[in-house]
Amino acid sequence: MNRDEQALHRLLEDTFSTCQRILGEQRPQLKYREIGTVNFIGQGIARIAGLPGVKSEEIVCFQGDSLGMAFNLDIDEVGTILLDKSEHLKAGDEVRRTGRVLDVPVGDGLLGRVVDPMGRPLDNRGPVRAAQRYLAERKAPAIMDRAPVTVPLQTGLKVVDALIPIGRGQRELILGDRQTGKSSIALDTIINQKGEKVICVYCAIGQRSSAVAKFVADLQQYGAMDYCLVVFAAGEEPPGLQFIAPYAATAMAEYFMEQGHDVLIVYDDLTAHARAYRELSLLLRRPPGREAFPGDIFYIHSRLLERSTRLNAARGGGSLTALPIVETEAQNISAYIPTNLISITDGQIYLSPVLFQKGILPAVDAGKSVSRVGGKTQLAAYRAVASDLRLSYSQFEELEVFSRFGTRLDEVTRQTLERGRRVREVLKQNQYEPMPVPEQIAILLAVTSGVFDRLMITEIPAAEKAVALAIRQQLPAICVHLQSGKKLSDGDFQNLVNIAKQAIAIPE
C-alpha cells in the first residue's frame, strides 16, 4: 500500500468513525404535528376535518405540496381556499398544518420582476431574492403615525393633473365601463414616474395573461420596469389566489413605504377581486346579501385601501398612493361594488363610454370626477391657471347640449362655446405621451388666456407642440420654478403667454 492509499484509508476511517459517533449521540425527538383529512373538494375550496388548532389565514399543505389557506374556522371542519391547482386532490387526502400565516417575500430584489401573489416568479428569471417576509394581512398605520397629504403625484395627463389632482398618499378610484381606458390611465401614470423616485406596484387580478404581457412589454419599452413590480393572478388561476393578490401586493409595497420611499400601487381591478371573494364565500356557505355578495365585502376592501397613506417623519415619511380600478356596467356607478369603493376612497376619476366613442381620450368625465384631497397638494401654478377650469369646463358641456337645439346664441355664449371646444381639444392626450408639468401649465395658460381662440380646432395639436417646445427652449428658468412648485409672478405668467403667442405666430 503506497503513501496515497494510506492517506485515503486514514481519511475514510476518520470519516466513518465521526459518523458513528454522531449517530450514537443522536436522540430522536417527538414533534407534535396536526394531520387533517379532506372531506370535500370543490371549485377552488376544500373542507377539512381534524385540524383543531389551525389559525385563521394559516397556510395548510395538501398532497403534492399544493397550498391552501384556512378561511372558515367552523366547529367540525375548516373551510380552506386553494392557492394552487386542485385537479389531483380528492376526498380522503391528508392535509398538514404549516404553522405559518400567509406571508409574502418583500425587498429590493422584487423590483423589475413579475410574480404571483405568493411571490413565485412568473418571468423565467430565476428565484426571487427577498430581504424578509411580511404578513399579507397587516394592520393599517395608526392615525398618529400618519401625515397630511401635501405632495402631488403627477400623472402626466393634463385633464387629471389640472382638474382632478392626486396627492401622494391618496386613494383615487378609477371607474368606468369595460374598454374605456382605465388601465391606460394607470399605465401612463406609471410611465410618468420615471425620474420621480416613485416605486410602482401593478396588481393584476383576474386579467387575461395576454393583456398583462402587453402591459409589462409597454413598461419595459418605456423604461418603467426598473422601478416597477408586477403581481399577477390570472383569470384561470384559483379564485383564492385572486383573492389574496391585492393584500400580497400591498404588503410588498409597504416594505418600500416603510423604507421612506413614495410608492404607487394600482389594483386592476377590484371588480374581479370582489367576484372572486363572492365565489369563495358562496362555496363556503357564507350567507349572501345584496347582489349575492356577503355582508363583509365592504370590509375586505376598506381594510385593504386603509393601508394607503402618508407616514409622518418619525416613521420615515414614505407614502403609499392607491389607484384602485373598478368596472361598471352600462354606466351604473350606483351599483353595489362601485358605491362601496366611492365611499372608501378620496375621490374618483370617471371614464365615460360616450366620450370614448367620440374620440375624446382620455375619456374623463369632469362633471362626475372629483378629488377630495389632491387640490390641497396641487402645485401653486396649477391653482393659478386651472382653479376655475373644472367648473367652467363642466358649464361648457351643459351649455353645448342646450345649444344643439338650434337656439339663436348671443355673442358671449358663442365665445364661451368656442373657448370650451378648444379647452376640450387641449385636454385630449395620446397614450404613452405623459407631459411634464411646465408644458402642461404653459398650454393650459395659453388656452384659458385666449391664445388659441383664433386657431381652428384641427390646428390645436400642432400649436400645443409648438408652445411646449418654445417654453422648454426659451424659458428654462421658469420651467425649473414650475417643476419645483414655486409661485410665479404676474410677469412670469405674462412671459408664458407672450412665448405662446410667438410660438403660434400671433402678433402682440
Q: What is the residue whose three cell numbers read 374618483?
A: 348
168 given a catalytic annotation = no
Q: In Å, how far from its chain's centre is CA 161?
A: 17
What is the structure's pLDDT at 506?
A: 59
CA nearest 188: which of 151, 162, 164, 161?
161
Using CA atoms, how far apart are residues 72 and 134, in angstroms rounded to an integer? Answer: 22
What is the structure's pLDDT at 407?
A: 65
Residues of the chain with pLDDT under 70: 1, 406-407, 506-508
C-alpha cell at 98: 404549516
- 34-to-49, 51, 73, 99 alpha-carbon distances in Å: 11, 6, 15, 10
Main-chain dihedrals φ then ψ at residue 453, nearest 5 degrees: -65, -30
The active-site residue, picked from 125, 290, 372, 414, is: 372
What is the structure's pLDDT at 153?
A: 96
C-beta separation of 186 from 268 below 8 A = yes
Helix, strand, coil tally for the chain in percent (to 5):
45, 20, 35
Using CA atoms, how far apart are residues 358 and 73, in angstroms rounded to an integer? Answer: 52
What is the structure's pLDDT at 152?
A: 95
With the C-alpha atoms ordered 262, 137, 115, 323, is the resulting torsion angle positive or negative? negative
User: Which tens digit of pLDDT belongs to each residue from 270-281?
Assistant: 999 999 999 999
Type and span of the H or E element at 39? strand 35-41
| CB count in 10 Å sphere of residue 21 | 10
| CB count in 10 Å sphere of residue 20 | 10
C-beta separation of 207 from 234 below 8 A = yes
| CB count in 10 Å sphere of residue 460 | 20
Type and span of the H or E element at 376? none
What is the structure's pLDDT at 1?
A: 60
Asked if the bond preceding 117 is cis, omega within 30° of 0, the reply is no
C-alpha cell at 482: 414650475
User: Which tens digit of pLDDT belongs to each residue from 441-483?
Assistant: 999 999 998 999 989 999 999 999 999 999 999 999 999 888 8
What is the structure's pLDDT at 149?
A: 95
Helices (H), 406-489: 411-427, 437-448, 460-474, 476-484
What is the structure's pLDDT at 34?
A: 87
Asked if the bond preceding 269 is cis, omega within 30° of 0, the reply is yes
CA nearest 196: which of 174, 218, 228?
228
